[in-house]
């Protein structure tokens, strides 16, 4: 399993811990690999959580260098793959969908007036046949 982690940029630490960490812990225990982008919120919190959990992470970013990477000192980050050069967030997100078999994402920003970028990405993932990670 290769898991693409995505979500809202305004997720807080407590919400991330409740909504993502149980599934991430289960995925790490099963030997999954991970794909994550470098935006604020879910992406950065996922990287911070994964940095001491696994070396099997690919970080995708737009341009020459990532907006964010965790500290490499005494973490597993030094073994992560960092892939950049994407021309846009859309191109980077498409690459993430191509690299994964499963997705983990929680959307709490959509309502009857607005569909969030996270909700749109989850719809794209489903259309491409990527399985949503079930809760443990």
pLDDT-based confidence at residue 119 (cuts at 50, 70, 90): very high
Q: What is the mean pLDDT of residues 49-71?
A: 97
Residue 63's Cα: distance from chain center in Å? 18
Q: DSSP letters along the chain, please?
A: -EEEEEE-TT--HHHHHHHTHHHHHHHHHTT-EEEEE--TTHHHHHHHHHTTT-S-EEEEEESSS-S-----TTSSGGGSEEEEEESSHHHHHHHHHHH-SEEEEE--S--SS---HHHHHHHHHHHTTPEEPPP-
pLDDT-based confidence at residue 45 (cuts at 50, 70, 90): very high
pLDDT-based confidence at residue 133 (cuts at 50, 70, 90): confident
Q: Does domain 2-132 have CATH number 3.20.190.10?
A: no
pLDDT-based confidence at residue 131 (cuts at 50, 70, 90): very high
The answer to whether residue 135 scores a pLDDT higher than 90 is no
The answer to whether residue 136 scores a pLDDT higher than 70 is no
Ramachandran bin of 49, using left for φ above 0, alpha for ψ from -120 to 50, beta for the remaining angles:
alpha
Amino acid 107: pLDDT: 93
């Amino acid at each position: 399993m290769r898991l693409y982690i995505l979500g809202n940029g305004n997720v807080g630490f407590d919400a991330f811990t409740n909504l993502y960490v149980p599934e991430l812990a289960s995925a790490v225990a099963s030997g999954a690999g991970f794909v994550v982008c470098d935006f604020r919120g879910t992406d950065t919190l996922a990287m911070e959580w994964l940095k001491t959990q696994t070396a099997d992470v690919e970080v995708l970013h737009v341009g020459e260098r990532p907006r964010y990477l965790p500290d490499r000192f005494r973490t597993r980050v030094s073994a992560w793959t960092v892939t950049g050069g994407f021309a846009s967030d859309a191109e980077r997100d498409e690459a993430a969908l191509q690299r994964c078999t499963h997705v983990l994402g929680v959307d709490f920003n959509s309502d009857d007036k607005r569909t969030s970028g996270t909700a749109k990405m989850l719809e794209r993932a489903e259309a491409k046949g990527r399985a949503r990670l079930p809760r443990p």
